A and B are shown apart, each in its own frame.
Chain A
Amino acid sequence: MVDFSLTPDQESLRELARKFARSEMAPRAAEVDRTGRFPEEIYRKAWELGLMNLNVPAEFGGTGLGLFDQCLIVEELAYACAGMTTSIIANCLALEPILLGATPEQKERWLRPFCADYHLASFCLTEPSGGSDAAALKTRARRSGDDYLLTGEKCFITNAPHAALFTVFATLDPALRHKGITAFVVPRDAVGLVPGREEEKMGHRASATSTVRFDEVRVPAADRLGAEGEGFSLAMRTLDQTRTPIGAMATGISQAALDLAARYALQRTTFGKPIAEHQAIQAKLATMAQQLTASRLLTWLAAWTIDGGARGTLESSIAKCFSSDAALRVADEAIQTFGGYGYMKEYPVEKLLRDAKLTQIYEGANEIQRIVTARELLKRYA
């Protein structure tokens, strides 16, 4: 029987995430958004509470949650600040290739010390000359004795200026396209690995983003993830896992936007009554609630599908794409409900729009999500 109720465990973890989000993250969100400061004290606290390495099994020092439970947490965190949430969950993205592709010895070596203390990791796939066309990446991995030498540049890398560990995708030969792509794990102190200057971003300003340059970085063959040429598949399987939480993040933004708009509508009066009594505003709130509810349910469906052991590519691409498009519309309508005040930085709604925008772009742009959705869909008709 279909059942949308949460278990007592899920209620508990959602409550913990909500408490952390509203007491630790929300009070700092506006300040950090204004200054672009990287609020490491908040991330450290998230790690201490077990809110950081959510997908890493408990045996390696992570929290070991399924995707559904991760999504419950991500929605709560994003409600308070999507930017901080991006930095908090970036470890899940960076460590997922290790969870999927590392040998038991490698997992022991990388995950246990990493999770035993507060550390950040970065997932290095995107390059300046192309993001969506991941098979065309140019960072080279050349064999040199028992080692590889990595040379190239990655961009838009979350947490890179602060990361201790990098999962890097490089090609043995660009002519091989996706068959040449190979994954490596590289520590921050590797000679020749240089994070670039922090980018100034439109939103998600609590999160740090930079380029990472690899200049003849020597990586032992023992630090290769999987076989040569398995990197592309590893990256795609990683994104299959991590795209659904972006749906949860977008849902959190939409919920925040609706809450702010509805409360404001009840309190602001025009023409002698609260604007919530005007049908134009009611229609906005109703549409926002539809978008929000559909986002959450699509995200839950995708997470539930993947937790059940299926790859869930169709469900997760639908959830990510729909929820992020919805978040942009819902945040937009929240600003419209606030009118001129909504456009002012003194009010918290304009930040939601800027934060929502990124959810349409990262972890697979929505154009790619639609291609993925269509490809999965058409397989069922072929």
Chain B
Amino acid sequence: MEIAVCVKPVPDPDTRLRASPDQRTLDPEGVKYVLAGYDESAVEQGLLLREQIPGSAVRAFAFGPAPRAPEILRSCLALGCDSATHVAANEPVDDPLVVAAALGTVLGSRPADLILVGKQALDDEEGLVAPALGALLDRPSFSSVTDLRWSPDRARFSFRRSTEVEVERWEAPPPLVLGLQQAWNDPRTAKLPNVLKARRMPIESVPAAPGAAAGRSVPLRFDLPAPRAGARMIEYSTPAEAAERLVRILREEAKVFP
């Protein structure tokens, strides 16, 4: 089985973020881009299925500019993906339909029985690439997928979808596009020798289809959340006094109750 996993470079959650000088986007200066969040689960799920289905291959795809996209593809190779393809863009693109179009053009010409993506990216959390890829490639797509299994007897995948109100159980034959919420296991960590080996593995680079850079959504303004106001300490000498002061603040200042 050919399994394609699409991953997105996202800012390392540990880096300090700030807005670009024009206030339209995140300032990429000094930001490290990593494989993270649901994308890690998608890679893990692909590798788990490969272990279960003989003769399978897991191929990683990332769309975006260098070096951030090839860098996370190296992480995929270190984790055990069989190959990596960089769909090269000159500029970072966040519009999910543009991302899906660029990846879909490449994936459409490859034999992919199963296309896995994280159900949403760690940074913008739009969750649109899986359904958009499904539509563009004319394949069934499902998001928020957990508990994905392959039944060789029936040649079908079975999986669950968690929605706000229920847990759905599904079965479907390939080809499929799935937005992963969780793999069976916590995403694995790459072993040191494999990390070093991955640095010497080739990464295929294909240009994004012309026109793919023109997004429909245009960022207007990028703001970081306002810093949280500091805690206020209540001075007191007895617990009763502390309670009385707290009640007064909640009633008169915060107006939590009349």
Q: Which residues of A contact B (CB under 8 A)?
A: 8-9, 12-13, 16, 19-20, 48-51, 58, 63
Pairs of residues from A and B, 7 with the lowest C-beta to C-beta distance, nearest first: A50-B192, A50-B191, A12-B195, A50-B193, A49-B191, A16-B195, A63-B192
Contacting pair A20 B193 (CB below 8 A): no
A8: which B residues are within 8 A, CB to CB?
A: 199
CB-defined contacts of B195 to chain A, threshold 8 Å:
12-13, 16
B 212-244 binary contact with A (CB < 8 Å = 1; else 0)? 000000000000000000000000000000000
Neighbouring B residues of A48 by C-beta, 8 Å? 191
Counting CB contacts under 8 A, is B25 at the interface? no
Tell yes or no: B172 within 8 A of A by CB. no
Tell me if B135 counts as interface (CB < 8 A to partner A). no
B92 to chain A, nearest CB (A): 21
Q: Taking chain A's interface residues, is the majority helix, strand, or loop, or is none over half, making it mixed? A: helix
CB distance from B250 to the nearest CB of A (A): 25
The CA of A9 and the CA of B78, in the complex, are separated in Å by 12
Known A-B contacts A8-B199, A9-B199, A12-B199; A58 and B193 likewise in contact (beta carbons under 8 Å): yes
In the complex, besides A13-B196, A48-B191, 20 extra interface pairs with C-beta distance below 8 angstroms are: A8-B199, A9-B196, A9-B199, A12-B74, A12-B195, A12-B196, A13-B192, A13-B195, A16-B189, A16-B190, A16-B192, A16-B195, A19-B189, A20-B189, A49-B191, A49-B192, A50-B192, A50-B193, A51-B192, A63-B193
- Per-residue interface assignment for chain B, residues 178 to 222, with 1 indicating a CB less than 8 Å from any chain A CB and 0 otherwise: 000000000001111101100100000000000000000000000
Residues of A within 8 A of B193 (CB): 50, 58, 63
Q: How distant is the Cα of A50 from the Cα of B194 in the complex, in angstroms?
A: 9
Nearest neighbor of A267 in chain B, beta-carbon distance: B230
Residues on A with C-beta less than 8 A from B192 are: 13, 16, 49-51, 63
- The chain B residue sitting closest to A46, CB to CB, is B192
Bound state CA distance, A20 and B221, in angstroms? 36
- Write the nearest CB–CB distance from B143 to chain A, whole angstroms: 27
In the complex formed, the residue of A with least CB distance to B190 is: A16
CA distance in complex: A63, B193 (Å): 6
Mask: chain B, 66-95; 1 = CB below 8 Å from A; 0 = not: 000000001000100000000000000000
CA distance A63 to B194 in the complex (A): 10
Closest B residue, CB atoms, query A18: B14
A41-B193 Cα distance, complex, nearest whole Å: 20
State which residues 132-189 of B face A: CB under 8 Å: 189
**Residues of B close to A20: CB separation below 8 A:** 189
Most chain A Cβ neighbours within 10 Å, of B189, B192, B196, B199: B192
Give Cα A351 to B74, complex, Å: 37
CB distance from A303 to the nearest CB of B (A): 17
Say how far A8's CB is from chain B's closest CB, in angstroms.
6
* Least CB separation from B32: chain A residue: A15
Give the residues in chain B near A19, CB-CB below 8 Å: 189
* Interface CB pairs A-B, < 8 A, 19: A9-B199, A12-B74, A12-B78, A12-B199, A13-B195, A13-B196, A16-B189, A16-B190, A16-B192, A19-B189, A20-B189, A48-B191, A49-B189, A49-B190, A49-B191, A49-B192, A50-B191, A50-B192, A50-B193
Chain B residue at smallest Cβ distance from A269: B230
In the complex, A215 Cα to B200 Cα: how many Å? 51
Q: Which B residue sits closest to A61, measured CB to CB? A: B193
Residues of B within 8 A of A58 (CB): 193
Which of chain B's residues has its CB closest to A45's CB? B189
Q: Give Cα distance in the complex from A51 to B199, angstroms.
A: 18
CA distance A8 to B196 in the complex (A): 9
- Write the nearest CB–CB distance from B242 to chain A, whole angstroms: 22
Bound Cα distance A13, B196 (Å): 8
Shortest distance between the CB of A314 and any CB in chain B (Å): 30
CA distance A20 to B191 in the complex (A): 10
Q: Tell me the chain B residues, 54-76 only, with Cβ under 8 Å from chain A.
A: 74
B43 to chain A: closest CB distance in Å? 15
How far is A180 from B150 in the complex, measured between Cα atoms in Å?
66
Minimum CB–CB distance from B205 to chain A (whole Å) comes to: 17
**Bound Cα distance A20, B190 (Å):** 10
Least CB distance from B189 to A in Å reads 6
Please report the C-alpha to C-alpha distance between residue A9 and residue B190 in the assembled complex, in whole angstroms: 14
Which residues on B sit within 8 Å (CB–CB) of A51?
A: 192
User: Cα distance A225–B33 when bound, in Å?
Assistant: 48
Please report the C-alpha to C-alpha distance between residue A16 and residue B79 in the assembled complex, in whole angstroms.
Answer: 12
* Nearest Cβ on chain A to B213's Cβ, whole angstroms: 28
Shortest beta-carbon distance, B183 to chain A, in Å? 17
Chain A residues with CB below 8 A from B189, complex form: 16, 19-20, 49
Residue on A nearest B189 in the bound complex, by CB: A49
A49 neighbours in B (Cβ, 8 Å): 189-192
- Smallest CB–CB gap between A355 and chain B, Å? 23
Closest to B192 in A: A50
In whole angstroms, what is the CA distance A294 to B191 when docked? 31
Which residues of chain A are near B74, meaning CB under 8 Å?
12
Closest-CB distance, A239 to chain B (whole angstroms)? 25
CB proximity of A83 to chain B, nearest CB, Å: 21
Q: Complex Cα distance A58/B194, Å?
A: 12
Expressed in whole angstroms, the Cα–Cα distance for A37 and B195 within the complex equals 31
What is the CA–CA distance of A9 and B4 in the complex, to the nearest angstrom? 26
* Bound-complex Cα distance A13 to B74 (A): 13
Q: Say how far B116's CB is from chain A's closest CB, in angstroms.
A: 23
Assembly CA distance A267 to B190 (angstroms): 36
Instruction: Tell me, in angstroms, the Cα distance from A263 to B199 when the chains sit together.
Output: 35
Considering the chains assembled together, what is the distance between the CA atoms of A19 and B195 in angstroms?
A: 13
| Residue in A19, A49, A63 whose Cβ sees the most chain B Cβ within 10 Å | A49
Give the Cβ gap from A304 to chain B, nearest Cβ, in Å: 19
CB distance from B246 to the nearest CB of A (A): 22
